[in-house]
Structure 1
């Protein structure tokens, strides 16, 4: 059972904040007794009362289920004795009802324990997600932003996609990326890269130096995990590193580590920024040159849209990829206000889910950012 299904079921069993999970078993019990009394001796169904604790076991707590098990036994005895001796169900059905109540209580105990364990694991996953993808304040560091992360594994809730905004001494830096592979290894790699980005992005004056620090961190991380005996030697990460300088509001700096090219989305349409001419993080030893920094003009009304391959590789039932550029261009042409980060992210998210029928083949991240008007990053210590 997924979290959405679990929460939906819990909501259906509550009215004005109070649980009504005890109502369906009670209605079933009353219904069985009424039918048994209003039919002939040829259609005795009082033994069906064993279904009552079984139903309670699926939706009620342990003590409520145990109560229904006891109530079912008592009701069975009273209802059965109301019939003449020759028409009574007898000892065999009594044992069935009693044994069914005991088993239902045990099943309820196992179910409740497992639900608690599941919720505990989801709390751990949520804490991990908030550690890797930390919450970002609105309009953080003079940037208006919006982001959504959808894990392909709905129970894990966290994977190898990552994004962050880091204000610093030399402007604001943005990092969006995707670690190759899945599982805890990918999460660990994403956390390592984000930790380095948050420090280097704050202190380093040159965006190329930040990019080099990320490459070094990726190499160090792989060496460490390989030394531990884990098969991470070939792991890499694609990413886009952006730099917004206070003194140059009409330009954005960009380093692309083999990632999907960002899209500049504005009232005048959609254009792609430089594509992944650089190698992914973890492959820097294959070339002699360091990462290349592009300086790209960016209008204040333009929003930068960054996605991972969970968006561009989303397929419909016919196997067709999600047409990101076409859909975004169509949406902005119909309403230029859809270039606003929150609306843009919502539009892409809903489009991907609709196109794929809700079946995500990979972790999916949609992140949008643009400069706010009349605000600038604060150098040194940040405003609270």
Structure 2
């Protein structure tokens, strides 16, 4: 059972914060007992009471399941004894009910233990993610932003999606990316890239130099993991590096390392920024020239929407991909206010979950950022 399915089931079995998991097995217990008592000897179903602890094992705790198992055994004895000897179900069915209750209690204990382990793993994954993705205020370094990370429902494993905003004396820089693969190795690689970005993004005057530092650090990290004998030394990462220069508020600088092209979303529509003409980080030594620096016009009312491939590769039941640009275009055309970062991120998140039926094939990150209205780019900046 995936983490998403587990949370949905828990919500269905609670009303106003209280568990009602005991209700279905109780109703089944009452139904079987009443039917057996109010029908003729030709329709004896008291042995069906073995289903009661079986149902409880799937949705109740261990003690509740054990209680239903004991209640089923006692009820079987009482109800069966109320019939004449020739119509009693007898010892064989009694053994069935008793053994079924014991096995149901054991199954409930195994299920509860597994669920606790899953929750523990999820907590570890969430703690790891928060260690890598530091919390940011909604308005930071002259930028208004919003982001959401959705873990894929596959074995509760963490992935390598990452994003950050770094203010500095040369303007505010933004990095959004996705490390190839999953697991702690991918998170480690994301942490390495973010650490380099936070230093280089602050100190380096040119965005192209920040990009070079990221590429060199990625290659060093791959060589290090290979030297340790690990099998993930050939990792790479797609990413988009953005710069918001102080002296030109109508322009955004962008370097794309093979990532999904950002969308500029505003009241006048949606347009795609230049595509990923650069190779992913870690593969830069395959070409002589580095990735191209693009300077793109960026209106004050526009929001940049950046996503990882968990969004664009989300599939519906028929196998169709999520139409990100079309969905965002329709949403903004109906209400230009949806270009606001929080609303935009919420719209894309809900759209992806609805399109995929809640089953994500990959970790999914949605990040939106724009210049904060009425705030200069230096506000909130960290000064040395």
Q: Common fold, TM-score beyond 0.5?
A: yes
Residue in 2 aligned with 1:189? 189
Residue in 2 aligned with 1:212? 212
Q: What is the alpha-carbon distance in structure 2 between the residues aligned to residue 121 and residue 76 of structure 1?
A: 41
| Structure 1 contact 212–291 (Cα < 8 Å) conserved | no
| Structure 2 contact 264–302 (Cα < 8 Å) conserved | yes
| Structure 1 contact 139–145 (Cα < 8 Å) conserved | yes
| Structure 2 contact 2–156 (Cα < 8 Å) conserved | no
**Counterpart check, 1:226 vs 2:226:** yes
SS at 2:185 equivalent: helix
Residue in 1 aligned with 2:173? 173
Residue in 1 aligned with 2:8? 8
Residue in 2 aligned with 1:89? 89
Return closer, same or farther for 1:378/1:345 CA change in 2, 3 Å cut-off. closer
- Cα displacement string for residues 144-172 of structure 1 (whole angstroms, at most 9, x for unaligned residues): 11223334445436323222112233322
- Cα displacement string for residues 115-160 of structure 1 (whole angstroms, at most 9, x for unaligned residues): 1111111111222222233333212222111223334445436323
| Structure 1 contact 170–379 (Cα < 8 Å) conserved | no
| Structure 2 contact 50–101 (Cα < 8 Å) conserved | yes
Listed as ranges, the gaps of 5+ residues in structure 1 are none
Residue in 2 aligned with 1:366? 366
Q: Bigger shift: 121-130 or 308-317?
A: 308-317
Return closer, same or farther for 1:286/1:90 CA change in 2, 3 Å cut-off. closer
Q: What is the alpha-carbon distance in structure 2 between the residues aligned to residue 359 and residue 106 of structure 1?
A: 30
Q: Bigger shift: 210-219 or 162-171?
A: 162-171
Residue in 1 aligned with 2:53? 53
Q: Normalising by structure 1, what TM-score?
A: 0.89
Listed as ranges, the gaps of 5+ residues in structure 2 are none
Return closer, same or farther for 1:264/1:118 CA change in 2, 3 Å cut-off. same
Q: What is the alpha-carbon distance in structure 2 between the residues aligned to residue 357 and residue 57 of structure 1?
A: 27
Return closer, same or farther for 1:351/1:29 CA change in 2, 3 Å cut-off. closer
Q: Normalising by structure 2, what TM-score?
A: 0.89
* Aligned-residue CA RMSD (Å): 2.6
Residue in 2 aligned with 1:125? 125
Within the candidate set 377, 380, 383, 2:382 is matched to: 380
Return closer, same or farther for 1:364/1:108 CA change in 2, 3 Å cut-off. closer
| Structure 2 contact 178–237 (Cα < 8 Å) conserved | yes
SS at 2:164 equivalent: strand
Return closer, same or farther for 1:29/1:218 CA change in 2, 3 Å cut-off. same
